[in-house]
């Protein structure tokens, strides 16, 4: 697993993008044209490792070119990056509910997002 990217739409033409990479870096591109780039940091390593771990099942999806379509509202596009290519799936929000198939992935992504966007004192 080289990384994972989550694309979350807010409307038909705006979305947030959270990316985490095996080198310990992460990126957040906000729908309000904000961007946060984090290099490797010991503070973030456990969060990134957890997210990459939760994304491992996505590697079962055959690699294929990532669609260049807009993510429909009510869904999240999740892409796992591997040496074999990109493994992309479109997941409805219901799968992120506590009993959903991707609940742990969403929990890990939320933890990383909260730490990434937190203001430092």
Three-state DSSP at 79 gives strand
- pTM listed for this prediction: 0.91
Q: How far is the C-alpha of 58 from the C-alpha of 34, rounded, in Å?
A: 28
Predicted local distance difference test score (pLDDT) of residue 120: 62
Backbone angles phi, psi at 59, to 5 degrees: -70, -10
Predicted local distance difference test score (pLDDT) of residue 41: 82
Q: What is the pLDDT of residues 17-49, one digit of tens each?
A: 999 999 999 999 988 888 898 888 888 899 999
User: Which position has the token pair 């038909």?
Assistant: 12
């Amino acid at each position: 697993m080289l990384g994972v990217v989550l694309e979350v739409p807010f409307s038909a033409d705006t979305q947030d993008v959270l990316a985490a990479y095996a080198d310990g870096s992460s990126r957040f591109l906000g729908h309000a044209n904000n961007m946060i780039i984090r290099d490797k940091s010991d503070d973030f390593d456990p969060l990134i490792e957890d997210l990459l771990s939760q994304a491992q099942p996505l590697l079962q999806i055959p690699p294929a070119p990532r669609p260049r379509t807009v993510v429909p509202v009510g869904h999240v596009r999740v892409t796992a990056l591997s040496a074999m290519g990109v493994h992309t799936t479109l997941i409805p929000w219901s799968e992120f509910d506590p009993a959903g198939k991707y609940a742990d992935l969403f929990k890990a992504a939320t933890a990383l997002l909260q730490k990434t966007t937190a203001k430092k004192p």
